[in-house]
């Protein structure tokens, strides 16, 4: 395929289907070439700025895809939580360089992936803690907060020393209390202490 044909294909997929990320196998099918033979062409398209490599085997138009779209492409069962989700919900001031994704699948060697958005880390969690949102790849604020505290405690760290919280008083108290019940006692205690401090309780 010529460069103009690729541009038209990408624009059509985005406009008509909202699709901006593609696996190499998908692109090979479009180009009617083997995935191995397509790699040279993908490198050429990336050099021209027509395509960008978002992760190993995942390509799309440069600067168009979001972390949420990339996570959904890599693992349909995963969702973004913890520090990055807190940042997305404007509940911390720091900009994360790592994106934590909870999943119910084991990624083994591909558990960590370098991307234009930072490092993606897939964490396989128990059924008790796994809670993928119904209509989003981004955890709700209360879920993200609990997961962040959980991950910090697991590493023996104090979550209040890792980030600067803001707006925790906006968390839904009933939803937060219900979610916290799924976590070990130390996580519940720290979660209640932090939210109680910021709500003025």
Which tens digit of pLDDT belongs to each residue from 139-189? 999 999 999 999 999 999 999 999 999 989 999 999 999 999 999 999 999
CATH class belonging to 3-65 = mainly alpha
pTM score: 0.88
Instruction: Please state the length of the chain.
Output: 201
pLDDT digits (tens, 9 = 90+) for 39-73: 889 999 999 999 999 999 999 999 999 999 999 99
Q: Which tokens belong to 57?
A: 């085997």
Does position 13 have pLDDT exceeding 70, yes or no?
yes
The pLDDT of 73-85, averaged and rounded, is 96
| Domain chopping of the chain, boundaries | 3-65, 68-199
181 to 104, 110, 143, 156, 170: CA distances (angstroms) = 20, 31, 12, 20, 19
Does the pLDDT value for residue 96 go beyond 50?
yes
Residue 200 confidence (pLDDT): 44
Residue where the block lists tokens 């907060």:
145
């Amino acid at each position: 395929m010529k460069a103009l044909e690729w541009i038209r294909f990408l624009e059509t997929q985005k406009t008509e289907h909202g699709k901006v990320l593609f696996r190499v196998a998908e692109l090979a099918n479009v180009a009617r070439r083997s995935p191995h033979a397509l790699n040279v062409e993908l490198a050429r398209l990336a050099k021209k700025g027509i395509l960008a490599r978002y992760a190993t085997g995942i390509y799309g138009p440069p600067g168009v895809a979001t972390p949420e779209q990339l996570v959904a492409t890599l693992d349909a069962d995963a969702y973004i939580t913890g520090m990055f989700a807190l940042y997305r919900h404007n509940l911390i001031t720091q900009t994360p360089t790592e994106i934590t994704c909870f999943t119910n699948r084991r990624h083994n060697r591909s558990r960590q992936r370098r991307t234009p958005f930072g490092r993606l880390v897939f964490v396989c969690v128990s059924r008790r803690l796994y809670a993928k949102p119904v209509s989003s790849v981004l955890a709700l604020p209360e879920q993200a907060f609990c997961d962040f505290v959980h991950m910090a405690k697991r590493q023996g760290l104090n979550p209040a020393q890792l980030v600067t919280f803001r707006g925790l008083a906006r968390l839904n108290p009933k939803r937060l209390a219900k979610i916290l019940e799924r976590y070990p006692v130390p996580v519940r205690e720290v979660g209640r202490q932090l939210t109680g401090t910021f709500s003025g309780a």
